[in-house]
Structure 1
């Protein structure tokens, strides 16, 4: 049996007996010599590569993505009997780390401090004696009311990090309850929660339902000092509404690791919005535990067990 590994990152999973791993170009069509593959690992793969895999691998049984989102894989048209497994959880720690870094940079006004440094200016406004909770601005996570919208693996990893810095954290998901010791509200209750939210962390996936969901109504419901951080998908935020809110001063600040489209065109006015920090989709990009996930799902495939994190088809 053969598994095809992408050349976009070094991988060395422990394979079941009788399996062979072959590294292929993740941006090219599958070579004819490997059309007998039973499993395919996807990471940074082109549409051309995925289309070839869907058509040219008749014995394929498993597609293992190393990314949490598998929209492109599902769109490639794999047969219904091919299991598509997501990389859910492989990016939880790195994305959480990035989200926290962006949030802290905005809370502690590091972009403004950098601008002052470039001017060789010691800013009394940014330093010296400061109130802990000034009117109209969030300057600390101590006591900050944080709502994490999209409370999956990443949200559950991020929550205790924020709590450790003194924040009051709640999650928002399709159904209410308690997850990982954190109160989770239903999405239907998000509008009512927004006026009492200091930080909105968006980790929503890109679906038909979530397209532009963080739009004018959501942004208007947040307090003027609130901070938005998006490490989910760019399509979930109405970027025109976001820019307008920042320009009008009805949103305190925002940090985006994702945009729509990507890369964000150099002429897009979003670049020049005030109090906005943009990073180029750098939160993930380095799956943690990829070899172990591949090995576990291959064992499940061979032994007839349950594949971890199968995508809904």
Structure 2
């Protein structure tokens, strides 16, 4: 079995973590491992690989692999979401699995940073700093009996849409800061002590939300799911943070909500088109914080995760994070 892994700037020496000490990957063993450049097409001599590991390759490179690698049986992406692989045209019988859990800690940290930056108006302070201006209006607003509560997570009603492993890391941190956290997922109930509603309870929940956090994946069912109607359900004082996928948001509707004052603020780490074009109106939208899709960083524990996945694959056991196709 030939396995292709990307030439990533982090450790992928996973054979040494296998139960057999990597013997199966030794020269002459039943398995061989080859590397490829992430930003270049798969070399012709490696198109016969049965397993492809991907990380940060441009969509056109992944689509090219889907077309030329006809022997593939399994694609393992190290990204938290498998959306690029899913829309690249791999044959229906090719298993696609994601790197969910490899980015939980860094995405949680970045989400919390964006949340606090938006709530505490760090963007306003930075803009004032560049103007050499002392932004005293922030202090006045915090002292005001009406607007003061909008500057704190203490008592804030927070909704996390996409209540998976990242949400379960983030929710306790928000709780520690005094927020009341409710999740949204495909099934209603309770997860780790947090109430969770399904699509049927979403509208009523948004109407009472101070901060909406999206961790949604990019699949056909979620494209532009946060549209003008749902944005209109949020209170005008509400804020929105997206560390999921940009395609889940109707960006024109979000821009309109922010410019008109129907939404108090937003912070996005992901956009529908990345890199964000120079002429995108999002650059100049008021009360909007943008970061360049850096929440995930590098996958943590990728070597051990891959070793476990490969061991399961070779034994015919169930893989983790298999995407529904």
When normalised by structure 1's length, the TM-score is 0.92
User: Does 1:139 pair with 2:145?
Assistant: no
Residue 112 of structure 2: aligned partner: 100
Unaligned runs of 5+ in 1: none
The 1:33/1:133 distance shift into structure 2, 3 A limit, reads farther
Task: Tell me, in whole angstroms, the C-alpha distance in 1 between the residues paired with 2:270 and 2:141.
Answer: 35
**Map 1:149-168 → 2, pairs under 5 A:** 149-168=161-180
Deviation at 1:96, TM superposition (A): 1.3
- The change in CA–CA distance for 1:256 and 1:128 in structure 2 (over 3 A counts) is same
Deviation at residue 32 of structure 1 after TM alignment: 3.5
1:1-313 equivalence runs, <5 A: 1-10=1-10, 11-13=12-14, 14-15=17-18, 16-19=22-25, 20-127=32-139, 130-131=142-143, 134-135=146-147, 138-313=150-325
Unmatched segments (≥5 aa) in structure 2: 26-31
How far apart, in 1, do the equivalents of 2:125 and 2:145 lie? Answer: 19
Q: List per-residue Cα deviations over 1:27-69 (Å, max 9, x = no partner).
A: 3232233344332210022345434543544543321100122
CA shift in 2, pair 1:2/1:103, >3 Å: same
RMSD: 2.1
Query: Which structure carries more helix by proportion?
Result: 2
SS of the aligned residue for 2:204 comes to helix
Partners of 2:230 and 2:279 lie apart in 1 by 26
Instruction: Give 3-state SS (helix, strand or coil) of 2:96's partner.
Output: strand
CA distance in 2, matches of 1:58, 1:267: 39
- Cα displacement (A) at 1:136: 7.6
Task: Name the SS for the 1:184 alignment partner.
Answer: strand
Using the TM superposition, name which of 161-170 and 60-69 deviates more: 60-69
Deviation at 1:85, TM superposition (A): 1.2
C-alpha distance in 2, partners of 1:136/1:224? 15
2:216 counterpart SS class: coil
1:40 partner SS: strand
Shift in CA distance, 264/154, structure 1 to aligned 2, threshold 3 Å: same
Question: What is the Cα deviation at residue 159 of structure 1?
Answer: 0.8
Deviates more, 1:253-262 or 1:43-52: 43-52
Per-residue CA deviation, residues 228-281 of structure 1 (Å, 9 max, x unaligned), is 001111121111211111112111111111112222222222221111111111
Is the 1:133–1:139 contact (alpha carbons within 8 Å) kept by the matching residues of 2?
no
Aligned residues: 313
